[in-house]
Amino acid sequence: MVNPNIDLVVKLEEKVDKLIERYKAQKEENKMLRSRVSQLTEQLNQINSSYSSLEESFEKLKIAKTLEASNNDVKETKLRINQIVREIDKCIALLNR
């Protein structure tokens, strides 16, 4: 007849082994997910940088297009130049604080 304590110990060892296997699997998955988060963060930073660059180019293009005024666009050009001057004045005022 088998000792019930030995049976209990064997079952406990089996459960501990399963827990260890699950822990290792979770640890590996966690490592993989952290790596993926890192990759996605880097990709997001690149996209944000690209977006900022494109936005800046767009603003420059709008200014250039406005300054490239034809006879009909003279009023709009003057308004845009006044707006730019006001923005510059605000920046100077902020720098003088």
Integer distance in angstroms from the first to the last C-alpha of the chain? 92
Q: Is residue 82 within 8 Å of residue 67, measured between CB atoms?
A: no
Q: What is the mean pLDDT of residues 69-84?
A: 75
Q: Is residue 69 within 8 Å of residue 48, measured between CB atoms?
A: no
Confidence check: pLDDT of 51 > 70 = yes
Which is higher by pLDDT, 12 or 3? 12
- What pLDDT was estimated at residue 63? 78
C-beta atoms surrounding 24 within 10 Å: 10
Q: Is residue 67 within 8 Å of residue 78, measured between CB atoms?
A: no
What are the sequence ranges of the domains in the chain? 4-96
pTM of the model: 0.52
pLDDT tens figures, 14-29: 999 999 999 999 999 9
